[in-house]
């Protein structure tokens, strides 16, 4: 979780000086706004934690090898988000998205705290690229995924000429 917390701090630094208008501005219809990227991160974290809790409580134990989740940072490989993780087009304020991100992060921290003395590498959930990932790896994957999108936000800022 320490790495996830560090990555979240970096995310908040990257958007710190941006206005609500800048966050919601789209370059074109092919690309998300920075706000949509942030909403996507919220949707991923909040929904994954719910799935992780259900998997922890209900899934049978199985052997699940560790996957190279660090490869998710590679932005040269484009991945389309599944529909349930796609952001809306609604205007949102920085305050609103920050509250949502804080809420989803609290739920992840609560899950980690709840399961800290439990075995998490023998229960897993599917990932569209990596296949079955064990719960122990899903926790850092959330941070790795966020790191990927920090790079996307930096690219969007450059395209929007925001320093």
CB atoms within 10 A of CB 109: 14
pLDDT exceeds 90 at position 144 = yes
For 117-142, write each residue's pLDDT tens digit.
999 999 999 999 999 999 999 999 99
Residue 145 scores a pLDDT above 90: yes
Q: Which two tokens stand for residue 123?
A: 């229960």
- Give me the pLDDT at residue 11, please: 98
The pTM (predicted TM-score) of the whole model is: 0.94
What CA–CA distance (Å, rounded) separates 48 from 138? Answer: 8
Over residues 151-157, mean pLDDT: 96
Of 45, 18, 22, which Cα lies nearest the Cα of 146? 45
pLDDT in tens, 65-124: 999 999 999 888 888 888 889 999 999 999 999 999 999 999 999 999 999 999 999 999
Residue 162 has pLDDT above 80, yes or no: no
The predicted pLDDT at position 163 comes to 60
Whole-angstrom Cα distance, residue 127 to residue 109?
21
Q: What pLDDT was estimated at residue 79?
A: 84
pLDDT band for position 38 (cuts 50, 70, 90): very high
Domains of the chain, earliest start first: 2-159 (1.20.120.450)
pLDDT at 10: 98
DSSP 25: -
């Amino acid at each position: 979780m320490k790495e996830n917390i560090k990555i979240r701090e970096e995310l908040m630094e990257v958007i710190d000086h941006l206005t609500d208008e800048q966050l919601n501005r789209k370059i074109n219809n092919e690309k998300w706004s920075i706000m949509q990227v942030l909403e996507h991160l919220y949707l991923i974290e909040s929904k994954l934690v719910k799935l992780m809790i259900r998997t922890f409580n209900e899934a049978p134990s199985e052997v699940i090898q560790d996957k190279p989740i660090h490869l998710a940072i590679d932005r040269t490989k484009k991945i389309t988000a599944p529909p349930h993780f796609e952001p809306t087009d609604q205007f949102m304020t920085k305050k609103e998205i920050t509250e949502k991100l804080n809420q989803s992060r609290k739920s992840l921290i609560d899950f980690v705290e709840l399961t800290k003395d439990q075995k998490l590498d023998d229960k897993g959930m599917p990932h569209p690229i990596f296949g079955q990932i064990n719960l122990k790896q899903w926790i850092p994957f959330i941070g790795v995924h966020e790191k990927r999108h920090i790079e996307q936000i930096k690219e969007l800022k450059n395209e929007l000429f925001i320093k």
